[in-house]
Chains A and B, each alone.
Chain A
Amino acid sequence: MGIFTITLPDIGEGIAEAELTEWNVAIGDEVQDEDVLGTVMTDKAAVEIPSTVAGKVVWLCGEPGDVIAIGAKFIQIEVEGEGNDSAAADAPAPKAEAKDKTDDTAEAAGEKPAAPAPEKSAEKSPAKPEAKAQSQPASQSQAARPAAAHRPLAAGEKPLASPAVRRRAQEAGIDLRRVGGSGPAGRILHEDLDAYIEHGPPTARQSGRMPALGTRDVKVVGMRRRIAEKMALSKSRIPHITIVEEVDVTAVEELRGQLNAAHAANRGKLTLLPFVMRAIVMAVREQPEMNALYDDEGGVVRQYDAVHIGIATQTPAGLTVPVARHTEARSVWDCAAEVVRLAEAAREGKASREELSGSTITITSLGPLGAIATTPIINHPEVAIVGINKMAVRPLWDGKEFQPRKVMNISCSFDHRVIDGWDAAVFVQKLKSLLETPALMFVED
C-alpha cells in the first residue's frame, strides 16, 4: 500500500489559488478513478477536482472556506502499490483515526489503541501542506464546533441552565421554559434571567409567543463570498448614477405576441429580454462608450465592437452572470435560445469559466418580482448596466384620455467617472424609443 498525493491542478489562466467550497469525499471513503473529490471556486466558476487514482481517502487539505494554492497538496489517497508520495506513506493519519473513533459507539472500549505513546502521536504530521498556512484563519476547532442553535424543548425536557440560574429562577418564581437562553446550545445565562426579571416578557404577555433570541453565524464562503467581494468592489470603486425611465412596451408586447403565435412552435418562444438585448445592441452602436470596460488603474476605457451581454441570473448557489456573446450578430430568436441555454447551465452549476466571463454590458432583471424601480450595481469593470423592472398595465394619458398601456420601468446605472449624466440620459432615451417603437430595432441602415 502506498500514499498517492493529488495536488490542486492549474484550473485557469493566471489563477494562483482557489477557494475550497465543498468536499465530495470524507476521510475513510473509497474512491474510484475520476470520482469527484471536491469543488474549488475560482474567480467565476466552481471547478470539480476529479481523482486520478482509486483508493481510500486518508487526508484532506482543509475545510470549505480555506484558500488552497495551485499545486499545493489537495488530498491523499491510500492506493494499492507504491503511490507517489513516499514521505506521506510513513506518516500517521491522525485525523482519520480520530474521526473513526467519533462515530464509534465505543464497543472496542478498553482495548489498547493502535496509537503509541502520547509523545509520539503528538508529533505534527509531516503531511501538513503549505496551502494550509495561507488559508483563512478558520481553525479546525472552530469549524468542528457545533453551531449554537435555539431549539424548542421537547415534552418533558428541562431547560438548559446552570444550577445557580435554576435556583434563582425558582426563587423568583420564574419558569425557565419561558426564558430564552442566549448561551451555547441555548443555555440560559444569568444575564438572560436578569433581562427577563427586569423587562419581563412583554411580547410573551401580549401575544403568548416567546421572543426569538437565537442567532446563527453563517460563514460566507464559496459563491457567496465571490458575490460579496464583487459587489463590494463595484460599489466602493464605482460612483454610480442611476436613471429610472418609464417605457411603454405595449407595441413590443404586441409584436412579441404575434411572433410567438407564428413561430413559437419551431423557433422557440420569445420573452421581452431578447428585445431588450436587441435594443442595447442598437443603442451602443451610437454610444460605444456604454459597451466598455474601464481599467481605472491603467486609465483606459476599452470600448468593444462586440456586444457581450451579461445576464444576471439567480441560481441556487447565488447570483451569477453568464454571458451571451456576440449579441450584435444574433437574431432575437438566437438571443432567446442563448439566454435559456446559459440560464440552465448556470442554475445547474455547469456553466464554464468562459461562459461566466467576458461581458461588456449587463442586463439585470428580477422578472415578475421586479418592483417599480431598482438601483442596479454595475458589473465591474463594466460601465453600464440595464435593469428591467416589472411590467404592468397602467393608465397613460394620450392627450385626450387615459389609455390602458403595458408599461415597464427600466433602471440603468452608469459609471459616473466616465459616463456623464447627459450621455446616460441619451442612452436611456434611446432604449426607450427603440422599445416603444420596435420596428426601429430591425431597421438596418
Chain B
Amino acid sequence: MSDMTCKLLIIGAGPGGYVCGIRAGQLGIDTIIVDEQKPGGTCLNVGCIPSKALIHAAEEFHKLSHFNGSSPLGITAASPQIDLSATVDWKNGIVTRLNAGVAGLLKKSGVRLIAGKATFQDGKTVKVTTGDTSVQIRAEQVVIATGSAPVELPFLPFGDTVISSSEALSLRSVPEKLCVVGGGYIGLEIGTAFAKLGAKVTVVEAAERILPQYDSALTRPVLKSLQALGIEVMLSTKAKGLGDKGLKVETAEGSEREIAADKVLVTVGRRPRSDSANIASLGLATDGPFLRIDDRCRTSMQGVFAIGDVTGEPMLAHRAMAQGEMVAEIIAGHKRSWDKRCIPAVCFTDPEIVTCGLSPDEAKKQGGAVTTGQFPFAANGRAMTMEAEDGFVRVVARKEDGLILGLQAVGRGVSELSAAFSIAIEMGARIDDIGAVIHAHPTQSEGLQEACLAALGHALHI
C-alpha cells in the first residue's frame, strides 16, 4: 500500500466535493478528491441532470402526442413513438459529457481525482481502495462530502419491481403501470415524466397533501395538472408492501387495496451517507442522522469539515456547492462563514414551483407585519403565447419597509426565475426596487415586477 499526502482531502466528488476541489485548486491548495463513482455525485449521475433530461424528453413526447388535431395552435402531428432506451442513451451521453467536464475542471485546477472507496483510518488518514489496490492518504484537512442515498422502506426493499429514483432514470422501457410511493418532489417529477411517456401512474402519499413543504396555493396548479395527465393521486394512503399484482395500500378510509403496477418507485426521502467510509469511527457530533457542522462547515473534529447532504436539509446541490466553495476558501485562510440569506428551491413538476426565502406563513410566524403581492400568469402576455397561463408569482415583504423576505412562483418554466428571486433577496432588495426595475417584455419575468407592484398597491396589468 502506497502512501500519499496532501493538504486537502475531499471524500466525495458530488456537487459539494467537486466544487470544493475546483476552488481549492484555484487557490493553490494541494488537493485530492476521492469517489467510487464518476465525478458529479448523485446530482449529475442519478439525480438532477438525468431527471431533467427525462422530464424534457417526456415533455417533448407529450407535446407531440397531443398534436392530434385538437391543438389550438393548429398543429397536427402523426402518432409519435418513443424508444426509451434511445432516450436513456441520450441522457447517458449528457451525463458522460458532464462527468468528463467535471474531471477536466478538476484537472485544470490541479486537483488529483482518485476513483476508489474511501475508509477513514483516523481523522486525517483515509485508505482508498480501487479494485485490488489501495492507497493511504494523509491530509492536513479533510472534507466529508459523501452525500445522500434514497431511503429504502423495510417492507418494500429495492429489487426487481421496487426501484429507487436512480433505477427509474435508467429504465429502458416505459412501464405500463407505475406506482409512485411518496408525493414529494422527486416522486412527482419522475411520475409526471412517465405519465407523459404513456405510463398509467398512481401516486401514493401518506400525508394529506402532495409537496407538503409548499403551501396549498403553490401546489394547487400542480395537483390540477397531475389530474389532467390522468395520474391518480391517493392522499392519506399508506403503502403496506408488495402484492401479487402490484402495491398493497391502506386507503384513507382504512380499507386495503392493491394497485396494479409493473414497477413501484419508492421516493420517500433521502438519508445522509454519514455511515459510509467508516465515518462513524471518528465519533463526530451529529444532529439526528446528519453530521453536525457550524457556520464554517466545521465538524466537532478539528480539521474535518462536512458539506452537502450529509450535513442536513435542504438537501440541494446548490447548497452543497456554496458550502464547498466556502470551505475551500476557509482552508486557504480566507475569513468566511455561512451568511446566506436564502437557498432557492425548484420543483420540476408541471408546472414548476420555485421558492426562495420565506413563505407568507413563515414570515408571519417570525413576527412583524407582512405584505404580499401576487401576479397571475393568466394576465401575462408571454405566458398566454406559451399556453402556460396557470400559476403566479408571489412576493412576501416586510410591511414596515418593503424589504423582500420571500419570493415564490408556480408556472411553466418558472425555474429560471430562481436567479432573479435569490438575487433580489441576497441583495436586500425592497419591493419598490424590483418595481422600479425594467423587466423585458414579453417575458414571464414581468410577473416578478408586477407582484412587487401589486404589493405596493398598484399592479399595472391586473
**Given A99-B457, A110-B376, A122-B460, are A149 and B400 neighbors across the interface (CB < 8 Å)?**
yes
A to B CB contacts below 8 Å, 16 in the list: A99-B457, A101-B454, A101-B459, A109-B376, A109-B392, A121-B379, A121-B462, A122-B460, A141-B432, A141-B458, A144-B458, A146-B400, A146-B430, A149-B400, A158-B339, A186-B401
Among A160-205, those with CB < 8 Å from B are 160-163, 166-167, 170-171, 173, 183-187
A145 touches B427 (CB 8 A): no
A106 touches B378 (CB 8 A): no
Kindly list the 4 A-B residue pairs having the minimum CB-CB distance in the complex, ordered from nearest. A109-B217, A146-B402, A185-B401, A160-B428
Q: Say if the beta carbon of A394 comes within 8 Å of chain B.
A: no
Q: Which residues of A contact B410 (CB under 8 A)?
A: 109-110
B381 touches A170 (CB 8 A): no
Q: Say if the beta carbon of A262 comes within 8 Å of chain B.
A: no
Contact with B along A191-221 (1 / 0, CB 8 A): 0000000000000000000000000000000
Q: Which residues of B contact A170 (CB under 8 A)?
A: 335-337, 339
B428 touches A110 (CB 8 A): no
A185 touches B457 (CB 8 A): no
Known: A145-B402, A146-B400. 13 other contacts (CB 8 A): A94-B462, A98-B453, A109-B376, A110-B391, A117-B381, A148-B401, A149-B400, A149-B401, A161-B428, A162-B426, A162-B427, A163-B427, A170-B335
Q: Say if the beta carbon of B146 comes within 8 Å of chain A.
A: no
Q: Say if the beta carbon of A400 comes within 8 Å of chain B.
A: no
Q: Say if the beta carbon of B218 comes within 8 Å of chain A.
A: yes
Q: Which residues of B contact A162 (CB under 8 A)?
A: 426-428
Contact of B432 among A103, A145, A154 (CB under 8 A): A145
A103 CA to B370 CA in the complex, in Å? 9
**Given A140-B458, A144-B458, are A109 and B220 neighbors across the interface (CB < 8 Å)?**
yes
Q: Say if the beta carbon of B373 comes within 8 Å of chain A.
A: yes
A173 CA to B337 CA in the complex, in Å? 11
A140 CA to B453 CA in the complex, in Å? 11
Q: Which residues of B contact A146 (CB under 8 A)?
A: 399-402, 430-432
Q: Which residues of B contact A154 (CB under 8 A)?
A: 367
Contact with A along B215-230 (1 / 0, CB 8 A): 0111011001000000
Q: Which residues of B contact A148 (CB under 8 A)?
A: 401
B432 touches A98 (CB 8 A): no
Contact of A160 among B336, B403, B431 (CB under 8 A): B403
A122 touches B461 (CB 8 A): yes
B334 touches A112 (CB 8 A): no
**Given A102-B455, A110-B220, are A151 and B427 neighbors across the interface (CB < 8 Å)?**
no
Tier of interface size on chain B? 35 or more
A144 touches B400 (CB 8 A): no
A111 touches B376 (CB 8 A): yes
Question: Taking CB as reference atom, which chain B residue is nearest A149?
Answer: B401
Contact of A121 among B374, B394, B461 (CB under 8 A): B461
Q: Say if the beta carbon of A113 comes within 8 Å of chain B.
A: yes
Q: Say if the beta carbon of A80 comes within 8 Å of chain B.
A: no
Interface of A, secondary structure class, is loop
CB distance from B404 to the nearest CB of A (A): 9
A186 CA to B380 CA in the complex, in Å? 33
Among B396-440, those with CB < 8 Å from A are 398-403, 410, 426-428, 430-433, 435-436
Q: Say if the beta carbon of B135 comes within 8 Å of chain A.
A: no
A104 touches B374 (CB 8 A): yes
A118 touches B401 (CB 8 A): no
B394 touches A141 (CB 8 A): no
Contact of B374 among A106, A118, A173, A187 (CB under 8 A): A106
Contact of B457 among A102, A113, A118, A147 (CB under 8 A): A102
CB distance from B123 to the nearest CB of A (A): 27
Q: Which residues of B contact A151 (CB under 8 A)?
A: 400-401
Q: Say if the beta carbon of B116 comes within 8 Å of chain A.
A: no
Q: Which residues of A contact B376 (CB under 8 A)?
A: 109-113
Question: Taking CB as reference atom, which chain A residue is nearest B461?
Answer: A118
Q: Which residues of A contact B374 (CB under 8 A)?
A: 101, 104, 106, 109
Q: Which residues of A contact B360 (CB under 8 A)?
A: 105-106
Among B363-388, those with CB < 8 Å from A are 367, 371-374, 376, 378-381, 384
A184 CA to B403 CA in the complex, in Å? 9
A101 touches B402 (CB 8 A): no
Tier of interface size on chain A? 35 or more
Q: Say if the beta carbon of B389 comes within 8 Å of chain A.
A: yes
Q: Which residues of B contact A140 (CB under 8 A)?
A: 458
Q: Say if the beta carbon of A95 comes within 8 Å of chain B.
A: yes
CB distance from A132 to the nearest CB of B (A): 14
Contact with B along A389-406 (1 / 0, CB 8 A): 000000000000000000
A106 CA to B436 CA in the complex, in Å? 23
Contact with B along A65-94 (1 / 0, CB 8 A): 000000000000000000000000000001
B residues in contact (CB < 8 Å) with A: 216-218, 220-221, 224, 334-337, 339, 341, 360, 367, 371-374, 376, 378-381, 384, 389-392, 394, 398-403, 410, 426-428, 430-433, 435-436, 453-462
A residues in contact (CB < 8 Å) with B: 94-95, 97-99, 101-113, 115, 117-118, 121-122, 140-141, 144-149, 151, 154, 158, 160-163, 166-167, 170-171, 173, 183-187
**Given A106-B360, A170-B337, are A184 and B455 neighbors across the interface (CB < 8 Å)?**
no
Q: Which residues of A contact B384 (CB under 8 A)?
A: 117
**Given A106-B394, A109-B394, A149-B400, are A101 and B462 neighbors across the interface (CB < 8 Å)?**
yes
Q: Which residues of B contact A122 (CB under 8 A)?
A: 460-461
A110 touches B430 (CB 8 A): no
Q: Which residues of A contact B426 (CB under 8 A)?
A: 162-163
**Given A141-B435, A185-B402, are A113 and B378 neighbors across the interface (CB < 8 Å)?**
yes
A108 CA to B379 CA in the complex, in Å? 15
Contact of B372 among A105, A117, A121, A144 (CB under 8 A): A105
CB distance from B216 to the nearest CB of A (A): 8
A101 CA to B451 CA in the complex, in Å? 10
Question: Taking CB as reference atom, which chain B residue is nearest A109?
Answer: B217
**Given A109-B392, A118-B379, A184-B401, are A98 and B335 neighbors across the interface (CB < 8 Å)?**
no
Q: Which residues of A contact B373 (CB under 8 A)?
A: 101-102
CB distance from B441 to the nearest CB of A (A): 9
Question: Taking CB as reference atom, which chain A residue is nearest B340?
Answer: A163
Question: Taking CB as reference atom, which chain A residue is nearest B341?
Answer: A158
**Given A113-B378, A115-B379, A171-B334, are A106 and B372 neighbors across the interface (CB < 8 Å)?**
yes
CB distance from A296 to the nearest CB of B (A): 46
B220 touches A104 (CB 8 A): no
**Given A110-B410, A151-B400, A185-B403, are A118 and B381 neighbors across the interface (CB < 8 Å)?**
yes
**Given A104-B374, A113-B376, are A185 and B428 neighbors across the interface (CB < 8 Å)?**
yes
Taking each of B335, B403, B428, B458, which has the highest tally of chain A beta carbons within 10 Å of its own beta carbon?
A: B428
A106 touches B428 (CB 8 A): no
Question: Taking CB as reference atom, which chain A residue is nearest B427?
Answer: A162
Q: Which residues of B contact A185 (CB under 8 A)?
A: 398, 401-403, 428, 430
B403 touches A144 (CB 8 A): no
Q: Which residues of B contact A113 (CB under 8 A)?
A: 376, 378-379, 462
Q: Which residues of A contact B400 (CB under 8 A)?
A: 146, 149, 151
CB distance from A106 to the nearest CB of B (A): 4
A166 CA to B336 CA in the complex, in Å? 10
**Given A109-B217, A163-B427, are A145 and B456 neighbors across the interface (CB < 8 Å)?**
yes
Q: Which residues of A contact B335 (CB under 8 A)?
A: 170-171, 173
Q: Which residues of A contact B403 (CB under 8 A)?
A: 160, 185
A187 touches B428 (CB 8 A): yes
A113 CA to B394 CA in the complex, in Å? 14
CB distance from A311 to the nearest CB of B (A): 41
A170 CA to B402 CA in the complex, in Å? 27
Q: Which residues of A contact B435 (CB under 8 A)?
A: 141
A299 CA to B339 CA in the complex, in Å? 72
A196 CA to B404 CA in the complex, in Å? 26
Q: Which residues of A contact B462 (CB under 8 A)?
A: 94, 97-98, 101, 113, 115, 121
